[in-house]
Structures are given as C-alpha cells and as structure tokens.
C-alpha cells in the first residue's frame, strides 16, 4: 500500500508554530525580568452601606505587547511553566500600588491554587512584605482564581489554612465556573463567594437565574459567606440584586478597573441605591396562590 500523500503545507506548520511559541516565551521573559505589568483596581460595592467595600487588583501587560491582555499573559505563563512566578510578581505589584494609593478598603488579590501550594512555606515572609507596605493582613482577601482544578482538596485546604491563620481572608472566584464548586464552598468555608457573571447578567428577565441566585443567597447565609455578584452592567440587574439581598456587586455599572479608581460607586449605582424602583419583570416572582 502506498503511503498517503502529505499536504504540501504540512512541513511548514511546525516551524511556524515553534517560532510563535518562542516569540511568546521571549516576550513573557522580558515582562517578568523588567516587571512590566501594571495594576488596575475595580471597586466592589456593598449594598448595605452603599460604599465601596473592596477593590479587586487586576493586571495589564505592557500596552505595546501582544501579551497586554491578562488572559493572554497568564495563558502564556501557564504554557511556559512560569505561572507562579507571574502570579507572585503581579501580587507584589498590586500590593505596593494599593498601598501607594492609600485605599483604606479590602484588597481582593488574585492567586491561583497552584501558587498557594507552591508558596505555602513562605507565608511569614509574604505577610511581612504586606505589613511593610503598610497594609493590615486583615485587609487582604486571597481570591482563588477559577482556572485550575484542585486535585487534592485536603492538601490544598491545609495550605490555605496557613494563610488564614496569618490573617488573610479567602474568596472563591466565579462560582458556577471552573473549580469553584458547591463542594469546595462547603469544604473551604470562604469569607466571600463571587458569583459567575453568567448567572448575574440578564437575571432581571430570567426566572431560572433569579431562582439560582435566591438559592445561593440562602446557602451563603447558612454558612457565613458574603456573596459578590460579578458582571453587573445594567440598572435592571442591579435592582434585582439589591432587592434579593445579595451582599455585594462588581461590574461596569459600579465602576471600571482603573489605575487610580474612584473612592465611590458610579453615580448611577448611587442613584439606584436610593431608589425603590423594581426594574425587573413580574414573571421572576413566585406565582401567587
């Protein structure tokens, strides 16, 4: 039998892919060596007080870099095996800038489960660095990012306990997406649980999402966690979350991520907090019997 003919373009695919990966790796190493990442901060609103409860520290790559977008930057670091190095660089940059800005609120610090495991023996050194920056450890919430599955929950729980013992709080990111399952919620008992935006956006017109959030609210009250609704972008969704009693909200309607964020929620959010308007469809409510 004669071997199948190869595509004339096939031999060139591997070199092109290798060249692209090499260029990506070079750019990643350049960013790591020059520490060329920029922190930005997005406010989280507390419905009960109408004030900014916390800021989530986010990262941008160099503006002129193909790795400017955080998703691309962290994907490249994962492929290259430098995820923990990038994670710790970003954390240090965020903490330092948060301190320089004098933001007297909670800081949500994005950390991957892998990083928690790899730096668990350095908790005291990390704690000292944060205190030396002038930040109380009780201000810092470790937000466990959702892009990694935790294979051994017991070992991870022990590692996380070292951070909690030092005074850090814990948040689970994107409940309903990635590793942040209800089981993990029950095992880790986080201080905050962030609801994936899929269940938040459009809730004002979706009975299933509305009932989902109702259930999460009941669970949160039972286990002592505070909810943060992510991706709040419309007035109608904001009002539903407010009237449901969801603790906190984050999204463009509250405020955009910025190098120097506002000390208060956006005017539209402040106006809605004072309003009694219910901007959602009656179909969301339970049928009256």
CATH number, residue 217: 3.20.20.450
What tokens appear for 79 in the block?
A: 């492929």
In this prediction, what percent of the chain has a pLDDT beyond 90?
77
What would the pLDDT profile of 3-24 be if each residue is shown by its tens digit?
455 545 555 666 677 788 899 9
What would the pLDDT profile of 147-199 be if each residue is shown by its tens digit?
666 778 889 999 999 999 999 999 999 886 654 578 888 888 999 999 999 99
Residue range(s) defining the domain that contains residue 192: 36-284
Phi-psi region of 88 (alpha: psi -120 to 50; beta: other; left: phi over 0): alpha
Angle 85-72-175 from CA coordinates, rounded to 5°: 85
How do strand 106-111 and strand 140-144 relate by DSSP bridges?
parallel
pLDDT of 277 higher than 80: no
CA distances from 225 to 168, 184, 185, 237, 247 (A): 15, 13, 9, 21, 10
φ, ψ for residue 222, nearest 5 deg:
-75, -30
Q: In total, how many domains does the chain have? A: 1
Distance of alpha carbon 86 from alpha carbon 32, whole angstroms? 7
DSSP states along 56-89: EEEEE--TTSTT-SHHHHHHHHHHHT-HHHHHHH
Is the residue at 43 inside a domain?
yes
Is the residue at 119 inside a domain?
yes
Where would I find the H helices in 181-275? 182-188, 207-223, 235-244, 267-274
Is the residue at 31 inside a domain?
no
**pLDDT, position 19:** 86
Distance of alpha carbon 63 from alpha carbon 69, whole angstroms? 9
Write down the mean pLDDT value for the chain: 90
Q: What is the dihedral of CA 121, 117, 140, 96, to 10 degrees?
A: 70
The residues, any chain, with a CB within 8 Å of residue 219's CB and separated by 6 or more, are 182, 185, 225
- 59 pairs with which residues across the strands? 39
CB-count exposure of residue 188 (10 Å: 0-12, 13-18, 19+)? buried
Is the residue at 51 inside a domain?
yes
pTM: 0.89
Is the residue at 79 inside a domain?
yes
Is the residue at 266 inside a domain?
yes
Is the residue at 73 inside a domain?
yes
Is the residue at 28 inside a domain?
no
């Amino acid at each position: 039998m004669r071997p199948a003919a190869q595509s004339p373009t096939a031999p060139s695919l591997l070199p092109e892919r290798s060249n692209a990966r090499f260029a990506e790796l070079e750019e990643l190493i350049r960013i790591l060596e020059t520490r060329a990442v920029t922190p930005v901060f997005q406010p989280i609103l507390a419905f009960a007080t109408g004030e900014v409860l916390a800021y989530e520290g986010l990262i941008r790559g160099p503006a002129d870099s193909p790795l400017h977008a955080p998703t691309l930057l962290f994907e490249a670091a994962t492929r290259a095996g430098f995820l923990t190095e990038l994670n710790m660089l970003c954390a240090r940059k965020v903490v330092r800038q948060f301190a320089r800005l004098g933001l007297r609120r909670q800081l949500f610090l994005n950390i991957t489960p892998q990083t928690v495991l790899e730096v668990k023996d350095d908790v005291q050194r990390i704690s000292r660095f944060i205190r030396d920056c002038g930040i109380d450890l009780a201000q810092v919430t470790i937000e466990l990012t959702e892009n990694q599955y935790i294979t051994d929950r017991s070992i991870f729980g022990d590692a996380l306990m070292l951070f909690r013992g030092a005074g850090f709080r814990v948040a689970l990111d994107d409940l309903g997406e990635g590793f942040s399952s209800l089981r993990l919620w029950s095992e880790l008992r986080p201080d905050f649980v962030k609801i994936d935006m899929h269940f938040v956006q459009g809730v004002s017109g979706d009975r299933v999402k509305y009932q989902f959030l109702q259930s999460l609210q009941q669970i949160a009250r039972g286990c002592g966690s505070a909810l943060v609704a992510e991706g709040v972008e419309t007035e109608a969704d904001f009002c539903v979350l407010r009237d449901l009693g969801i603790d906190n909200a984050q999204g463009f309607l509250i405020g955009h991520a910025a190098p120097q964020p506002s000390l208060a929620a956006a005017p539209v959010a402040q106006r809605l907090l004072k309003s009694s308007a219910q901007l959602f469809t009656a179909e969301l409510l339970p049928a009256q019997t």
